[in-house]
């Protein structure tokens, strides 16, 4: 019998979970083992109390392997888990806006004199000016709401220098070839995913320059089989973000039904044990794929401004107990447009609330794809 019980494999830890110095984060590792066994953790003899064992262990690397060993007359048992040290953690937030294609269509057809003359981008810049907010816009290659099925290759490159001038706070990234069909990568081939990504990013880089383009952080519908993760990892993927962890839905006779005790489909098919951990902690590191996972807890085109503020303040309060210092705000571009059938007149009020409240609570704006959810301490 041997089990580490204090920490989960893949847990992300910071100064709130132990004693941090410039050299290490010392955490208390606890577990259970046969009372007759001698136990070490990374070679350090553990204190024993009947079946329980504990030891203060310094984590000195970004990614740490923690190995407990129990030896008795029947032999030796071991258990190893991976723990991540979020060194020098601080309160931080990112804003992700999915499904972008409408503003590209406008740029090509209306040709505003300056990039930030467009109402959508102008508002983003306004919120950056007010709160320092940074935005990653997840982009479609094709505008499926346009009668002519507008595509990115129609967008001129005349705004590239302006995109690059604003690249410290505005990034573009791949989302999918188009909004439809739904769940485009749920059962896709490697070839399809690579083709869609490459043709989209080729145009984004042409339009906005490399400085303005980021590796992916998810795909449309957050559905992608783990067997295909490598396609995006080869193109810079480091994190996966989704508000859908815990979700697995099927349609029966036209009605959506929620499945329980199974894997998450809207959530990259992770098992429920991972989903439950993320429901509690909001972040996770998958040692099998070397990927960081983030759960978004609200969507600003679903929640009202008051609901958004309540959720953010509630999660900030929980962070004092759970230790998670990062949060992501997510929404979708099309709800900002009066021509869209689900137009939200208060869209920008919702978005501003998503920027204002974290700023009031002391969160710093970051890009999640940099470092550990925007914390680049390990790169310094």
Give me the pLDDT at residue 263, please. 62
**Segments of 21-120 assigned E as strands:** 25-33, 38-41, 44-45, 47-49, 52-59, 63-72, 75-85, 92-100
Pair (277, 236) in one structural domain: yes
Do 113 and 55 belong together in one domain?
no
Instruction: Look at residue 177 in the predicted model and tell me its pLDDT.
Output: 97
Q: Which of 52, 85, 118 is the last residue of a domain?
A: 85
Is the domain of 77 the same as that of 125?
no
Whether pLDDT at 246 is above 90: no
- The whole-model pTM stands at 0.93
Indicate the pLDDT class of residue 222, thresholds 50, 70 and 90. Answer: confident
* Burial letters 177-213, b for 16+ CB under 10 A, else e: bbbeeebbbbebeeeebbebbebbbebbbebbbeebb
- Could you please report the per-residue DSSP string of 276-340? HHHHHHSEEEETTTTEEEEE---BTTTS-HHHHHHHHHHHHHHHHHH---EEEEEEEGGGG-TTS
Q: How confident is the model at residue 261 (pLDDT cuts 50, 70, 90)?
A: low
Which CATH number do you get for residue 7?
2.60.40.10
- Count of structural domains, the chain: 2
pLDDT exceeding 70 applies to what percent of the chain?
94
Q: Are residues 43 and 127 in the same domain?
A: no
> How would residue 243 be classed by pLDDT, with cut points 50, 70 and 90?
confident
Residues 208, 354: one domain?
yes
- pLDDT tens, position by position, 35-56: 999 999 999 999 999 999 999 9
Residues 132 and 58 grouped into a single domain? no
- The answer to whether residues 109 and 223 belong to one domain is yes
Domain of residue 249, residue span:
92-379
Q: Are residues 218 and 112 in the same domain?
A: yes
Is residue 252 over pLDDT 70?
Answer: no
Residue 174 pLDDT more than 70? Answer: yes
- The pLDDT assigned to 321 comes to 83
Q: Are residues 147 and 46 in the same domain?
A: no
Residue range 264-303, pLDDT digits in tens: 666 777 887 887 888 888 999 999 999 999 999 999 999 9
Tell me which of 44, 70, 85 is where a domain ends.
85
Kindly indicate the confidence band of residue 25, based on its pLDDT and cuts at 50, 70 and 90: very high
Check: CB of residue 215 under 8 Å from CB of residue 235. yes
Residue 263 shares a structural domain with residue 127: yes
- What is the average per-residue pLDDT within 366-380? 96
Q: Of 18, 53, 85, which closes a domain?
A: 85
Distance CA 333, CA 375 (A): 27
Higher-scoring residue by pLDDT: 149, 263: 149
Residues 75 and 204 in one domain: no
Whole-number average pLDDT of the chain: 94
Mean of pLDDT values over 231-237: 97
The per-residue pLDDT for range 55-96, each reduced to its tens digit, is 999 999 999 999 999 999 999 999 999 999 999 999 999 999
pLDDT for the residue 352: 98
Residue 182 maps to which CATH number?
Answer: 3.20.20.370
Judge if 72 and 104 occupy the same domain. no
Which pair of tokens denotes residue 190?
Answer: 């490697």
pLDDT, one tens digit per residue, over 309-332 is 999 999 999 988 889 999 999 999
């Amino acid at each position: 019998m041997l089990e580490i019980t204090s920490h989960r494999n893949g847990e992300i830890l910071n100064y709130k979970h132990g004693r941090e110095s410039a050299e290490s984060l010392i955490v208390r590792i606890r577990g259970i083992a046969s009372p007759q066994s001698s136990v070490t953790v990374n070679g350090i003899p553990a204190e024993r109390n009947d079946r329980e064992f504990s030891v203060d262990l310094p984590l000195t690397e970004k990614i740490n392997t923690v190995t407990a060993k129990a030896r008795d007359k029947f032999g030796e048992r071991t258990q190893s888990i991976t723990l991540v040290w979020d060194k020098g953690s601080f309160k931080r937030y990112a804003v992700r806006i999915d499904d972008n294609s409408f503003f590209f269509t406008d740029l090509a057809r209306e040709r505003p004199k300056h990039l930030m003359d467009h109402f959508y981008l102008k508002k983003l810049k306004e919120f950056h000016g007010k709160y320092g907010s940074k935005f990653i816009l997840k982009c479609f290659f094709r505008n499926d709401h346009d009668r002519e099925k507008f595509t990115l290759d129609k967008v001129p490159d005349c705004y590239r220098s302006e995109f690059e001038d604003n690249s410290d706070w505005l990034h573009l990234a791949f989302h999918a070839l188009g909004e439809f069909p739904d769940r485009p990568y749920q059962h896709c081939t490697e070839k399809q995913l690579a083709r869609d990504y490459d043709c989209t990013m080729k145009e984004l880089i042409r339009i906005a320059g490399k400085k303005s383009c980021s590796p992916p952080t998810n795909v449309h519908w957050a559905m992608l089989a783990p067997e295909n993760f490598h396609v995006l990892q080869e193109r810079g993927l480091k994190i996966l973000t989704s508000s859908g962890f815990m979700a697995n839905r099927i349609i029966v006779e036209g009605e959506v039904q929620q499945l329980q005790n199974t894997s998450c489909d809207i959530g990259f098919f992770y098992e429920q044990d991972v989903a439950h951990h993320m429901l509690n902690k909001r972040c996770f590191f998958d040692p099998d794929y070397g990927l960081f996972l983030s759960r978004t807890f609200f969507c600003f085109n679903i929640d009202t401004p008051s609901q958004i503020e309540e959720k953010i303040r509630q999660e900030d309060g929980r962070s004092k107990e759970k230790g998670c210092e990062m949060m992501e705000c997510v929404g979708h571009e099309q709800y900002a447009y009066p021509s869209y059938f689900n137009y939200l007149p208060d869209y920008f009020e919702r978005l501003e609330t998503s920027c204002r409240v974290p700023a009031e609570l002391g969160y710093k704006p970051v890009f999640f794809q940099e470092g550990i959810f925007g914390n680049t301490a390990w790169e310094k």
